[in-house]
Structure 1
Amino acid sequence: MSETDLEGTGLNLAVNRHGNLTSASNDQDLTNVLHQIKSSKSPAVINYGSTWCRVCNQILPAFCQLSNNFPKLSFIYADIDECPETTQHIRYTPTFHFYRDGERVDEMLGAGEERLHDRLWLHS
């Protein structure tokens, strides 16, 4: 399996075979992503994390791998240090926000691959 760098994470991760995984590398990217989620009304999950967060770095490879299992969901990674203006409401990393029909419908704080899988299944 080939690998790719998820921009801003410093990690080599398995390539997403569905192309439904992106990263927001600055505030404008994240603003565009949020606007796209609201206008497209397709289900999405945003993983708010940071490079200095040990738990974030532990769950990120699973987040990327799970994107292959849920091709109808858009997966977005946003580093809070790269998007300081649009993530100032995030108080804990990792935080996952789940969107359906353009609206945020759920939030998960912390990690846990099984917990994340169950939430993704629920919202896909």
Structure 2
Amino acid sequence: MEGGVVSSESEGSSKKGLVCSDTGLNSAVNPHGNLKSASSDKIFNDLLFQIRSSKTPAVINYGASWCRMCSQIIPGFCQLSNEFPKLTFIYADIDECPETTQHIRYTPTFHFFRDGELVDEMFGGGEERLHDRLWLHSS
């Protein structure tokens, strides 16, 4: 992905893990494969379809490479994906997915899905707040 926030090891591959880099330093690869990046509207639509059809609990992080708060939460988002392997984690850059994210008015915004349905929303950062919401939606 542009901006160095989240990049995939293999473009378009949903089976590979993502490497999170907040300041140019790479952190550990997500071993669970539950962290994915939507770098286009088509990829994002495909990921949404997977969430809705598999009914796997999921969280979508809507962010932007120019957003300072988004850049600050991304390393924690990546670490939390390792802590909650039963959840699907998706990062969607609003500039790379303009059609499918046009309803997002604040970054970062987090959407939580359960049984294929949107059940919760969180605005802004705060790793502890995000952790608590993830814990709530993973049980």
Which amino acid in structure 2 is aligned with residue 52 of structure 1? W
User: Counterparts of 1:13 and 1:91 in 2: how far apart (Å)?
Assistant: 29
The residue that corresponds to 1:81 in the other structure is 95
**TM-score using structure 2 length:** 0.82
The residue that corresponds to 1:7 in the other structure is 7
The residue that corresponds to 1:55 in the other structure is 69
Give CA deviations for 1:91-124 in whole Å, capped at 9, x if unaligned: 0000000000000000000000000000000000
Match of 1:13, SS?
coil
Unaligned runs of 5+ in 2: 9-19
The yes-or-no answer on 1:40 pairing with 2:63 is no
Larger relative contact order (Cα-Cα within 8 Å, sequence gap ≥ 6): 1
Which amino acid in structure 2 is aligned with residue 23 of structure 1? S
Match of 1:64 among 66, 72, 78: 78
Number of equivalenced pairs: 120
Which amino acid in structure 1 is aligned with residue 123 of structure 2? L
Match of 1:28 among 42, 53, 58: 42
Match of 2:69, SS?
helix
Contact 1:50 1:93 in 2 (8 A): yes
The RMSD of aligned alpha carbons is 1.5
The yes-or-no answer on 1:110 pairing with 2:117 is no
Identity of aligned residues (%): 73
User: Counterparts of 1:73 and 1:83 in 2: how far apart (Å)?
Assistant: 22
**TM-score using structure 1 length:** 0.92
* Runs of 4+ with >2 A deviation: 5-14
Unaligned runs of 5+ in 1: none
